[in-house]
């Protein structure tokens, strides 16, 4: 019985040491400047295509990034869904709500503490009829390639949107 207790205690110590070593938390990690620059360029290209009403290219950009594991029917369905949404956004007032893109501003950059490979950029896009908040989330893969992991937009009041709990994550300059 004593030997069993000693063995169990030794196993517990070894497992605890292994787990503790695997969970080192580096809270100083932030995304590299080159990742941020690449992400900003991706967003800039997206907004330029939106301004030029090149909705097919934006839909393809999203599907190429988000849908790599999707089967072909889902890729086609999602592409058409994004294409329709962009076409609706571009309808000018009074028939539509938004119309032509006038410009955009980066209003927030966020990251997950302890990770330099997942981060978010939030933009305020100004249209002739109204505004939208666009949120881009980026992932850096093992080959250091920056990819779009999520895109969404909201017509919420920007102050309300920016005060939601997930938007209050740590930010960087």
* C-alpha to C-alpha distance for 26 and 127, rounded to whole angstroms: 41
Query: With bands split at pLDDT 50, 70 and 90, how would you rate the model's confidence at 140?
Result: very high
Coil, strand or helix at 63: helix
Range of the domain at 35: 29-168
Residue 6 lies in a domain: no
Residue 9 lies in a domain: no
Residue 42 lies in a domain: yes
- Please answer whether residues 85 and 91 qualify as being in contact, where contact means their C-beta atoms are separated by less than 8 angstroms: no
- Which CATH number characterizes residue 88's domain? 3.10.450.50
Residue 95 lies in a domain: yes
Q: How many residues does the chain have?
A: 173
- Number of domain units in the chain: 1
* C-alpha to C-alpha distance for 10 and 43, rounded to whole angstroms: 53
pTM above 0.85, yes or no: no
Distant-in-sequence contacts of 63-66, Cβ < 8 A, 24+ apart? 65/147, 65/148, 65/149, 66/148, 66/149, 66/150, 66/151
Residue 142 lies in a domain: yes
Residue 10 lies in a domain: no
Query: With bands split at pLDDT 50, 70 and 90, how would you rate the model's confidence at 164?
Result: confident
- The pLDDT assigned to 28 comes to 81
Closest to 129 in 3D by CA, of 101, 164, 154, 151: 101
Residue 17 lies in a domain: no
Asked if the model's pLDDT at residue 18 lies above 70, the reply is no
Residue 40 lies in a domain: yes
């Amino acid at each position: 019985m004593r030997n069993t207790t000693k063995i169990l205690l030794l196993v517990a110590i070894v497992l605890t040491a292994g787990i503790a070593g695997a969970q080192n938390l580096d809270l100083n990690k932030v995304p590299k400047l080159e990742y941020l620059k690449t992400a900003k360029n991706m967003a800039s290209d997206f907004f330029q295509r939106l301004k030029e009403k090149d909705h097919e290219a934006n839909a393809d950009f999203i599907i190429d990034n988000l849908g790599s594991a999707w089967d072909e029917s889902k890729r086609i369905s999602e592409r058409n869904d994004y294409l329709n949404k962009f076409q609706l956004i571009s309808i000018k007032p009074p028939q539509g709500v938004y119309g032509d893109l006038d410009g955009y501003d980066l209003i927030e950059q966020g990251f997950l503490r302890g990770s330099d490979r997942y981060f978010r950029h939030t933009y305020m896009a100004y249209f002739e009829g109204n505004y939208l908040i666009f949120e881009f989330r980026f992932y850096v893969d093992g080959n250091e390639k920056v990819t779009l992991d999520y895109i969404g937009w909201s017509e919420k009041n920007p102050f309300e949107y920016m005060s939601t709990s997930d938007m209050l994550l740590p930010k960087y300059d």
